[in-house]
Structure formats: C-alpha cells, structure tokens
A and B are shown apart, each in its own frame.
Chain A
C-alpha cells in the first residue's frame, strides 16, 4: 500500500504554523470536500513555531491538484507540495507487542533481524519490537509475526522527505527566497 505501489495514493508535505486548531482546520477541509485521508502525521520542525505534516490521500490527479489548492488557501498553511512523483524517503514507525515466552523468543528475534526490526522491551512472556520502514515492509513483518501471537500493534502515519537538496515545500516556507511568478 505504499504510494509507489498504487498510483492513486498521493503523498503531500505541508508546512503549517504551530497554532491551536490548525490540525482541525486541515482535517475539516478534508472531511468537507470529501477527500480520503489514508494517513496523516504532524510534528515539530527545527524551526520554532513551524510544524511539518506528511499526509497520504487516495486521489486522482485532478483531485490531488485541488487538494493542494484548497490547502494553500488555509491561512495557517505556509506551503504545500505533492511529492508523489518526487524521489523521496518515506517511513512509518510500528511497535508490535507479542505474547512470546523464552522458548520462541530466539526464533522471533531472528525474523526481526531480517526486517531490521529491533526488540525494545522484553518481559517473561512478552516482547515489543520496533520497526521503521514503508508500509509494505511493515505489512510483511506483521504477516511473519502473526503466528507467534501479536497482542497489540501501533503505527504512525507516513513521514516523508524528498531526496537531494532542500524540498520545494521547505523552500516556499520562506517567501523571501521564493519570488512570486509575474507576467
């Protein structure tokens, strides 16, 4: 289910002002216009007062363009970029709790090794493993671990960053170095 596998899944990056209610404005826009959110992640950046969002939506080309235009209209949205077709690093983080005693522990850890998942908590009959990767890789790990007894699982939405130099959304957050188009 990663963006690269399905052409209808779009990944966007948005810079937003870190103010109360901003997430509500964005979520409300998606609901009102009937856009389908697959995942949404928001967190702080290295700059005070500015948050960065990554969201994945299910949309065709035209809807994607209108999502961008509508988000751009929100006063608290500083910049937005559709990175679906831009080479990027995308990551989800998953925590998986298993009901595993000492007898199967080694086997599970061996499998985790293959996926570069790592144990972060071990109890007499439990194990929590942490893994980051794209959705496809997380899904594969879940499939492999399922027979051992998954009791809980949590995962973040996708976070993404374009490869290479500063991305368009990041640059546009600073209007002084992003001159306006003029006729």
Chain B
C-alpha cells in the first residue's frame, strides 16, 4: 500500500453490519455496496462529476490506482478480472473520462470479461442540456455492454450496483456500466443493505441441456474415428480444466485450443495439439479439416479460427458446448448444441464416456507434426540475429513456463501463443476478439493487483506499447512490479506482414520510431536494458527478474520477420502460407541497428 493517504481524514466506521437504517449519501452507499461485493481495489481517475464519490472513498478499505488515461483503468479492471476470475472495477468521471473507457469496455465485451465501470454523470437536472462534460455514456456504451444503468437517485444506487455485479459475473460474463449523476452521489437517503439474491425477472443466464441431447453427444463421441476437442475461453471461465483433463484421460481425444483457450488444457499434455486458426499450428488446422467429429467447448467459431466457412471442417459432425444460445449456429452450423456451463455439461458427459480406438488418428496427427517441424523456426540457427520466436521460447524456458504472461496485439502476440507453453489456466492474458493494441501494460498491472505473488511478464510490440506507455508512471507511483519484454522490430509488424503478403510490399505508415525504451524506463525511475543478440538474453532476463521494480527489456529483433504459418483472412483453413524453407533464402534484412 503506497497510495498516499491523508492521515488527517478520520475513517468513519467502515461497513457496519447495517440492518439499522442509516442516512448515507449516494457516494457512501456506492462504496458500502462495492465493499460488500468484495471489491478491494479500483482503477480510476477523478473529475468533476465523480468527485463526491472520490471524496467518500477515503472512508472505506479500498485501494485506488490512479491511472494516466481511463482506457488504462478499463484494461486494468479487465486484467484483474482475467487473472482472478473476480469482477474488476474502473471508475471515471463524466464526458471524456467516460468516453476514454469505451475501448476497454468494448474489449471486455468481445472477450466476455466481467468488469463494472462506475462513471460520474452531470446532475440530473442538467441531463440533456449539453452541460459541461456531459456525454450520454449509457447511450454510447449500449451496444458494447452486457447491460448498463443510469442512476439519478441515491435510492437506486444499491440495486444498480448489486445488479451490475451479478450481471457482469453470471452466465456469459461481460462489462456493465453504472452511470451515477452527481446529485445522486451527493443526496442522502436511508441505507439498508439487502443481501437477498438479486432478482431480475428478464435475466436468465443459466441453461441446462436436455438429457437426450447429452445421450446423443455420448453416442456421437463413441462413434467417432477422427475426433478432436476444442478448448475455448469458456473452459477457463467455467473453471473446467480438471474436467477436460478427465475427459481426455477417459477418451484419449486430442485437444486444440483457441487463442483465449490457451492454458485451459495443459500445453505440455501429450494429447495437446496447440492453437488453431489463422496463426495456428499447421498440423492442427489440417487435423481439423480431416476430423470426423469436433466437440467445441466454450468457443464461438470466430472468423480467425475458421477461415473460409464454405470449406471449414466439412467432414466433421459438430457438437457445440456453449453457454450463450445466440452463439449457436451463428457462423458454423452445428449438429448438436449442448447449451449450458462447460463445467456442468462435462460433468454430465463424463460418467458415460469410454476410451476410443483412435490410435491411427493420433499417429496420423503426429506425422503431420513431423512434417511441419522442418519449417519450425526453433530449429533454425540465429546466425547472431535475434528472432522474436527465439525470445519467447527462451523466456518460456527461463521462467520454467510458470509466468503469467500478458500480451499486446500483433506479431509478438502470435509468437507468444505459439512458443510460450501455458500449462495452467489464467496464465495467458491477451486481447482476442477486439485486438486492442495498448492492452498489455495496463492489463498486466490489473493482473498484478489480483495476483501479488505471480511472476508477470508483459510481452508487447514497440507499436502497441507506445499506445499506453504513460501507465509506466502509474507502475512507478504504485510500486507495481512487472517484467516487460518489448519485441521491438521498428515496424507495426503485423500490418507490415500483411503489406508484404497482400499489398505488394508497400510499407505504408508501418515503420515506427520509438523512444529509447531503456532511457524511458530510467526516466520513470525503473530498470531498463537492451538486448540485441540471443546470447545477451538470459542475463537480461535474470536482471529484470531480480530487480524489485518494473523492468523493461528492449529486444531489438529481426525487423522483417513474419508469423508463420498464416491462413490469409477468408482463405481455406488448410491453405496456409508456410515459413519459407531454410535454403530457399527468405530475405532476412539487415536490422539497421546502431549498436
């Protein structure tokens, strides 16, 4: 706890048993309710319309992290939620404070992350008058929240906040905004906390499959000769990893993961195949195209996973275990949807399943793996150069695969997904659906607050890192220890790769100049070191880990390397661009390093 506190301010009795009605302001009721919801830390930025709430916060056992931009607050709440499985909370003022949250809210919506954003609003008498710092934030966030509330009276605060937490965390999780007018924060009302379960007659987030559907699924699984399991984000959200392991132990079916499903099934498990989709392993995508049964668990057949829908997994019958009925048959038509929580459905399936005779299929996939290995960059020499894939691989080795890694968006994200083998859930935090550059640093800070004892690594590109680099100051002020690996190639690398493949090599607006990241770390009173060869890597990682403060390693990697394999957007899943063979001199450009 390093937040400076004004010791002169007396804490009034925090959170009483409170069956007796007490007269409290809307602001006090807000914090009373948040504390009862188990909130210990909030990420925010004060301003005019939220000042009454901030003024009351000091009376409550809440740690506040002062961000440098509200987008950071939303991403921190997001990272906190992903790392802990609890609801993350961001606080902002009206108008620009609220609109700055928008990217973070959309990010949480796309990846089904439970966050609650509390925003101040102009006094209710001024709503609709274009008052100073007025924005219709419930209107703005309507399509990117699971639900939102406009609170104009102190009497409405308890119910809105409790419902917000319930909606955010239950069913398919998602972000909820609670917009509270300044007068609702200031006025007082009798406060009695009602701890009875939240009642929302129109909200029924739970589903259970029919018994005959479960029986049919068992029959379909037993009839399969080339089955494959998909581990999606829903496995992690439902805490279903142990049941998935049990299912694989019983049936021997191999498992492929989506980007957000990585870690939901152990990467080093013999039946684990790896990631599917646009930058998935070649053998995984080939196996999907040859499979006769797909059991998809908690995933939504995103376009980055399927490629061309007309040619996607045509030979496979599909069982879709999914909590959200609106995701069933959205893109891929399935033969049997099982609606409900992944954990509950696996529990229903398990007693009926037996071992499948699929040795031939497993051997076939192994042979596909062997075929791919010749193009594998891990088997290529570095010739003194620094390849991003080598950096991630070495990082995995040096941290013994145990770190919690938070990535940004782009090439480094895909390399991380390919080369850092996550054996446990909630150890990879990444922006999947929205693909939000600038996500990594603030999300990692949120994860740190949720998991004070984890070793946390940020893996970011030089482009994305600069989008939210201001939060380094927050790291320094709040003594938040992170290790930051900047995969610095001097380009917006993924866009550059697309320009190379699909736009005639015209690198329009992708070369990007960065500040000296070592000096930037120094300017914040943090530790920084530069790495230009693979030989320097281990020592730099050691220094970063040993340093009690946040440490930045500026990895100056190969500038024009690309992520392979790649299924071009909309192409057939088996139609992959492969890494050029070692002899077929793929031009490795000079890096233009000045060291």
Report A's interface with B, CB cutoff 8 A.
16-17, 20-21, 24-25, 28-29, 32, 62, 65-66, 69-70, 72-79, 173, 175, 180-183
> Which 7 A-B pairs rank lowest in CB-CB distance, beginning with the nearest?
A69-B326, A69-B325, A78-B202, A75-B147, A70-B326, A75-B203, A183-B211
Interface readout for B138-169 with A: 1 if CB under 8 Å, 0 if not?
11001100110010000000000000000100
State the Cβ distance, B277 to closest chain A Cβ, in Å.
23
Chain A residue numbers with a CB within 8 Å of B348 are 183
CA distance A65 to B142 in the complex (A): 22
Chain A residue numbers with a CB within 8 Å of B326 are 66, 69-70, 72-73
B593 sits at the interface (CB 8 A) = no
| Minimum CB distance partner of B326 in chain A | A69
Q: Is the CB of B330 within 8 A of A66?
A: yes
Chain B residue numbers with a CB within 8 Å of A173 are 201
| Minimum CB distance partner of B171 in chain A | A73
State the Cβ distance, B585 to closest chain A Cβ, in Å.
47
Residues 123-145 of B contacting A (Cβ, < 8 Å):
138-139, 142-143
Q: Is the CB of A66 within 8 A of B329?
A: yes
B96 sits at the interface (CB 8 A) = no
B328 sits at the interface (CB 8 A) = yes
Chain B residue numbers with a CB within 8 Å of A66 are 326, 329-330
B509 sits at the interface (CB 8 A) = no
Q: Select which of A25, A77, A183 is within 8 A of B209 by beta carbon.
A: A183
Q: Select which of A17, A28, A77, A180 is within 8 A of B208 by beta carbon.
A: A180
| With contact pairs A65-B329, A183-B348 given, residues A175 and B204 touching in the complex (Cβ less than 8 Å) | yes
Q: Is the CB of A183 within 8 A of B202?
A: no
State the Cβ distance, A180 to closest chain B Cβ, in Å.
7
CA distance A149 to B138 in the complex (A): 46
| With contact pairs A73-B324, A181-B208, A183-B211 given, residues A175 and B201 touching in the complex (Cβ less than 8 Å) | yes
B588 sits at the interface (CB 8 A) = no
Q: Select which of A17, A21, A62, A75 is within 8 A of B138 by beta carbon.
A: A21
Q: Is the CB of B330 within 8 A of A25?
A: no
| Minimum CB distance partner of B348 in chain A | A183
Chain A residue numbers with a CB within 8 Å of B207 are 181
CA distance A17 to B326 in the complex (A): 21
B584 sits at the interface (CB 8 A) = no
State the Cβ distance, A76 to closest chain B Cβ, in Å.
5
CA distance A173 to B204 in the complex (A): 12
| Minimum CB distance partner of B214 in chain A | A183
CA distance A183 to B209 in the complex (A): 6
Q: Is the CB of A182 within 8 A of B147?
A: no
| With contact pairs A62-B329, A69-B328, A70-B326 given, residues A25 and B142 touching in the complex (Cβ less than 8 Å) | yes
State the Cβ distance, B36 to closest chain A Cβ, in Å.
21
Q: Is the CB of A78 within 8 A of B201?
A: yes
Residues 107-135 of B contacting A (Cβ, < 8 Å):
none
Chain A residue numbers with a CB within 8 Å of B143 are 28-29, 32
State the Cβ distance, B574 to closest chain A Cβ, in Å.
26
Q: Select which of A24, A29, A73, A175 is within 8 A of B139 by beta carbon.
A: A24
Chain B interface, DSSP helix/strand/loop, else mixed? loop
Q: Is the CB of A182 within 8 A of B329?
A: no
Chain B residue numbers with a CB within 8 Å of A32 are 143
Chain A residue numbers with a CB within 8 Å of B167 are 75
State the Cβ distance, A134 to closest chain B Cβ, in Å.
30
B508 sits at the interface (CB 8 A) = no
Chain B contact-residue range equals: 20 to 34
Q: List 23 A-B contacts (CB under 8 A).
A: A17-B201, A17-B202, A20-B150, A21-B142, A21-B150, A28-B143, A29-B143, A66-B330, A72-B204, A72-B326, A73-B324, A74-B202, A75-B146, A75-B203, A76-B202, A77-B202, A79-B202, A173-B201, A175-B201, A175-B204, A181-B207, A181-B210, A183-B208
Chain A residue numbers with a CB within 8 Å of B203 are 75
- List 8 additional A-B contacts (Cβ < 8 Å) besides A69-B328, A183-B348: A17-B202, A28-B142, A66-B329, A72-B204, A74-B147, A78-B202, A173-B201, A183-B209
State the Cβ distance, B593 to closest chain A Cβ, in Å.
47
CA distance A28 to B203 in the complex (A): 18
Interface readout for B312-345 with A: 1 if CB under 8 Å, 0 if not?
0000000000001110111000000000000000
Chain B residue numbers with a CB within 8 Å of A17 are 201-202
Chain A residue numbers with a CB within 8 Å of B324 are 69, 73
CA distance A180 to B209 in the complex (A): 11
State the Cβ distance, A50 to closest chain B Cβ, in Å.
9
Interface readout for B208-252 with A: 1 if CB under 8 Å, 0 if not?
111100100000000000000000000000000000000000000
CA distance A40 to B200 in the complex (A): 25
State the Cβ distance, A4 to closest chain B Cβ, in Å.
26
Chain A residue numbers with a CB within 8 Å of B146 are 75
Chain A residue numbers with a CB within 8 Å of B204 are 72, 175, 180
State the Cβ distance, B433 to closest chain A Cβ, in Å.
15
Most buried by B among A20, A76, A183: A183
Interface readout for B173-215 with A: 1 if CB under 8 Å, 0 if not?
0000000000000000000000000001111101111110010
Most buried by A among B142, B150, B200, B214: B142
| With contact pairs A28-B142, A77-B202 given, residues A72 and B325 touching in the complex (Cβ less than 8 Å) | yes
| Minimum CB distance partner of A175 in chain B | B201
| Minimum CB distance partner of B167 in chain A | A75
CA distance A17 to B163 in the complex (A): 15
CA distance A32 to B141 in the complex (A): 12
Chain A residue numbers with a CB within 8 Å of B202 are 16-17, 74-79
| Minimum CB distance partner of B139 in chain A | A24
Chain A residue numbers with a CB within 8 Å of B325 are 69, 72
Chain B residue numbers with a CB within 8 Å of A20 are 150
Chain A residue numbers with a CB within 8 Å of B142 are 21, 24-25, 28
CA distance A50 to B146 in the complex (A): 21
State the Cβ distance, B321 to closest chain A Cβ, in Å.
13
CA distance A32 to B109 in the complex (A): 14
Q: Is the CB of B200 within 8 A of A75?
A: yes
Chain B residue numbers with a CB within 8 Å of A77 are 202
